[in-house]
Amino acid sequence: GIFYEHAHRLLGSLVGLTTLVLALQLQFSERRRWLRALGWVALLMVVLQGMLGGLRVTGRFTMSQSPTDMAPSLDLAVVHGILGQLFFGLLLALTAFSSRLWVSGRLPEPRPTASTDRQLTAVLVLAVFVQLVLGAMLRHMARGMLWHVSFAMVLALLALAVGARHWGLYRDLPLLRPLGRTLTILVGVQLLLGTGALAAVNGTPDPGDLPWWEVALTTLHQLTGATILGLSVLLSLWSRRLLAPEPEQAS
């Protein structure tokens, strides 16, 4: 409805202003040049996201309010949704890079499993992103249901493996164990939400008249997917910061 659309735009403006403040704060207080650059990348992304949000409704740059001049674009809706997830992941990365633990003098600990888990977390981030793209296409264009459901099974196995490894192997390291535990639990929750959303969508005769509980269910499914992306990004970053491959033994 109009209320939710207006609220979405107001919150988007607030996110944009907050990101501007963040970029300026990093510019004037952060010594690491690459981190300052990431702050401006975040600002550029949120500006582009706002433009895509408008163009997704109008289809082109226009000041007209007439519905006859509007040409809503489903393609831009998909891009708008994907960029929002990428922006969220970048903000979490900025949070990690700015944390006290990251900038502390703590050295990465050599572990025999470090190399494997570094690779697995990187693959997981890519796999979650692919699944979010498939989900955005399904949500906005009603395409790729089979791909989204099939890949979800592969992704769930990968995420459970990554989460369980970090949960069980790194009990003595900060962040890695709780991140792994949270990821493992959320994957199970996401499978339940996805099953419920699939059953609800297939059981709704009129897609134009959705009950509130179905909207809530599919929205929670999307929210949990974004959270899993964020956890994957954090695990990938922190596994590189806190772990180091063991040096090869001299023969």
| DSSP characters over 169-213 | H-TTSTTHHHHHHHHHHHHHHHHHHHHHHHHHHHT-S-TTS--HH
Distance in angstroms (rounded) separating the CA atoms of residues 95 and 233: 11
Residue among 117, 147, 120 at smallest CA distance from 133 = 147
Residue 66, pLDDT score: 60
Residue 6, pLDDT score: 80
* Percent share of the chain, pLDDT over 70: 90
C-alpha pair distances (Å), 77 with each of 68, 117, 134, 139, 154: 19, 34, 13, 10, 26
Beta-carbon count within 10 A of 213 CB? 10
Residue 25, pLDDT score: 97
pLDDT in tens, 73-94: 888 989 999 999 999 999 999 9
**With 90 as the cut, is the pLDDT of residue 207 above it?**
no
Considering only residues 8 and 1, tell me which one the structure prediction assigns the higher pLDDT.
8
**With 50 as the cut, is the pLDDT of residue 205 above it?**
yes
**With 90 as the cut, is the pLDDT of residue 250 above it?**
no
Residue 251, pLDDT score: 36
Residue 249, pLDDT score: 43
Q: Which helix (H) or strand (E) holds 108?
A: none
* Percent share of the chain, pLDDT over 90: 70
The dihedrals phi and psi of 33, each to the nearest 5 degrees, come to -65, -40
Distance in angstroms (rounded) separating the CA atoms of residues 191 and 46: 30
Distance in angstroms (rounded) separating the CA atoms of residues 240 and 118: 6
Q: Where are the domains of the chain?
A: 1-98, 110-251
CATH architecture for segment(s) 110-251: Up-down Bundle (1.20)
pTM score, two decimals? 0.90
pLDDT in tens, 147-173: 999 999 999 999 999 999 999 999 998
Residue 235, pLDDT score: 98
Residue among 24, 84, 21, 92 at smallest CA distance from 48 = 84
Judge whether 61 and 55 are in contact, CB under 8 Å: yes
Sign of torsion, CA 227 233 237 239? positive
Query: What's the whole-number average pLDDT of the chain?
Result: 90
| Residue range 179-195: mean pLDDT, rounded | 96
